[in-house]
Structure 1
C-alpha cells in the first residue's frame, strides 16, 4: 500500500505522451511557447527595420590591389537610395591585422542605387589587404 490513499483507491491518472514517449506539454504551455517565439521574431524584424531606416547605406568589398609599399587600392560597391551621399572608411591592414592606412571616401550623390568606387589608401608600411570598415549617410 502506498502513502497516497486516493491513488490506491482511484489509481494514478495516465499521462498523455507524445511519439517520443515523453509527456506532452499542456495547451497553455504550447500557447506560451508559440507566443514567445512570435514576440522574438517580431522583435528581430523590428530591430532590422529600424537599423535599415537609421542607416540606409550598405557596402560590399569587391577587391584590393597592393600597388606598392606605400599604397593599396581598394574597390567596393556602395548601395544607397538615389540622391544620397555617404562617407565610407577604407582601411589598409598589415599581416598581423594592424591598421597601416585609413581613408574616408565620400560617395555620391548619384542617380543609381549602387555605385562602384576604387580608393587609393596611403600606408605607413606595406599592407597585405584593404577593406571597407564602414559606410554611413553623410551629415
Structure 2
C-alpha cells in the first residue's frame, strides 16, 4: 500500500504537476481574463463615443438628362441644423460607368432637410444621375 500512495506523487513530479504550478496557472488565467476584460471595456467605450457624431443623409429625388454632356440631379440632404456637408453627385451611363462626377458643398441651414438641384457635366452620354455619398465637413 505504501507504493500505491507514493505512485501519484512520483507521476506528479515526473509530469510537472505541483501545487505551485497550479497556482501559477490560475494566476496566469486570472491575469489574462483581466486584460481581456479591460480591452473589451475600452473597445466598448471607444465604439460608443465614436458613434455619437451627427449623421448626414441624402436622397435622390429626380434626374433629368439635359443633353449628351449634362445631367441635372435633384436631391435632398438631411443633417443637423447648423452643420455643413459635402456631397458627391455622379452621372452614370447605361453600363453603370461613371461618366460625370461633381463635389457639391452643402451650406449650413436652420432646417433639417434641404432640397438642391445641381448639374453634372459628362464625358459620354449619361442615362442617370444620383448622389453617391455625403459627409459632414
State yes or no: 1:79 paired with 2:73. no
Give the ranges of 4+ consecutive aligned residues of structure 1 lying more than 2 Å apart after TM superposition: 47-51
Greater C-alpha Rg: 2
Q: Which structure 1 segments of 5+ residues have no match?
A: 1-42
Higher-helix-fraction structure = 2
For residue 101 of structure 1, report the CA deviation from its aligned partner: 0.3
Which 5+ residue runs of structure 2 have no aligned equivalent? 1-43
Size of the aligned set, in residue pairs, is 92
* 8 Å CA contact 2:74, 2:116 repeated in 1: yes
CA deviation profile, 1:109-131 (whole Å, cap 9, x unmatched): 11111000101000001100001
Q: CA deviation at 1:108?
A: 1.5
Partner residue, 1:5: none
Pairwise CA RMSD: 1.9
Shift of 1:105: 0.5
Cα distance in 2 between the residues matched to 1:63 and 1:80: 20
Identify the residue that residue 107 of structure 1 maps to in structure 2.
Answer: 106
How does the TM-score come out when normalised to structure 2?
A: 0.62
Q: How far apart are 1:54 and its partner, in Å?
A: 3.4
**Residue 93 (structure 1) aligns with:** 92
The Cα shift of 1:87 comes to 0.1
TM-score, structure 1 length as denominator? 0.61
Partner of 1:62: 61
